[in-house]
Amino acid sequence: CSGIGMCQASGRCSCGKDRGLEDCSGCGASHYTVSKQPALDIIHRCAPCPMPKNQVCAGRGVCVDDLYAKAVGDAWDVGNGSCICAATFFNGSDQWSRQTCAQGTCPGGFQEVLLPAEHLNHPRIKTCLACEACDAGTFASPGGQCKSCHPGYFSSHGSHSCSPCPAGSSSRTLGAVECSLCSAGTYAPSGSAVCHPCAEGTISVKGSAKCEPCNSRSIFWVHADNQNLTCIRPSEQYLILLLFFASS
């Protein structure tokens, strides 16, 4: 076992966490070769990968350890101990100029979550922290987590903030992805959670930001489809009949 590990009854070597290969002569996962023993060139001296926040590469990428170097290169290749970050927004280096991925944050509209890491090609690391775009109806400030938009607001995929509903529309629920136009006879200013009914003597069409007053000699009339409202001026005969029935 290269004078490093312990030989078990089965004849196999029991190596430490920093050792690799069947005879313990190589470096294990999250370790890389810094030099080889002068007397025995096949025995590697191993060093650990960066461990900020007590996680290899801060959990935000994979280390170029010996396992990675051999997986993407040749069997005799060794690693350099630097980190490959899962997101371009992650960075940082240590006193040995190794990239650590410990600094940097996800930009607005993204949140830091655990995602598959197959694209990083490490034979052991299958997931790591990376940046994922917020769903429609949510938002995230830089370095934050995705949160639902409040009523009266909406957002699209990957938004850093929620937009107020345009005047003449509203959204009643948390996490709205769009706003609904106000029906005829109602109105809403920008950022409204509900559409408000027009006051007596005023009128509006579908999608109105405000209601318009009717002429003092007009009455309010709603069409059957409830989509178009108009103020109409009644005939004198209609007013006489109205007054007659009102007084009878």
Q: For the segment 226-247, what is each residue's pLDDT rounded down to a tens digit?
A: 455 666 555 544 554 555 565 6
Tell me the mean pLDDT in the region 197-205. Answer: 85
Do β-strands 169-170 and 180-181 pair in parallel, antiparallel, or remain unpaired? antiparallel
Say yes or no to pLDDT of 202 above 50. yes
pLDDT mean across residues, the chain: 83
Q: Give Cβ neighbours of residue 92 (< 8 Å, ≥ 6 apart).
A: 52, 99, 100, 101, 102, 103, 104
Q: For the segment 30-48, what is each residue's pLDDT rounded down to a tens digit?
A: 899 887 554 445 556 788 9
Per-residue confidence at 70, pLDDT binned at 50, 70, 90? Answer: confident
Tell me the mean pLDDT in the region 62-78. Answer: 88
Q: Token pair 């001296």 is at which residue?
A: 45
pLDDT at 224: 35
pLDDT at 24: 63
pLDDT at 14: 60
How far apart CA 94 and CA 228 sit, in angstroms, is 69
Tell me the mean pLDDT in the region 48-70. Answer: 92
How far apart CA 63 and CA 49 sit, in angstroms, is 6
C-alpha angle 194-188-159 in degrees, rounded to nearest 5? 75
Q: For the segment 122-170, what is each residue's pLDDT rounded down to a tens digit?
A: 988 999 999 999 999 999 999 999 999 999 999 999 999 999 999 999 9
Side chain identity at residue 158, one-letter code: G
Q: For the segment 100-124, what is each residue's pLDDT rounded down to a tens digit?
A: 999 999 999 999 999 999 999 898 8
Phi/psi zone of residue 58: left (φ > 0), alpha (ψ -120 to 50 degrees), beta? left
pLDDT at 237: 46
Tell me the mean pLDDT in the region 56-80. Answer: 90
Q: Could you tell me which of 177, 216, 178 has the C-alpha nearest to residue 200?
A: 216
Tell me the mean pLDDT in the region 6-25. Answer: 63
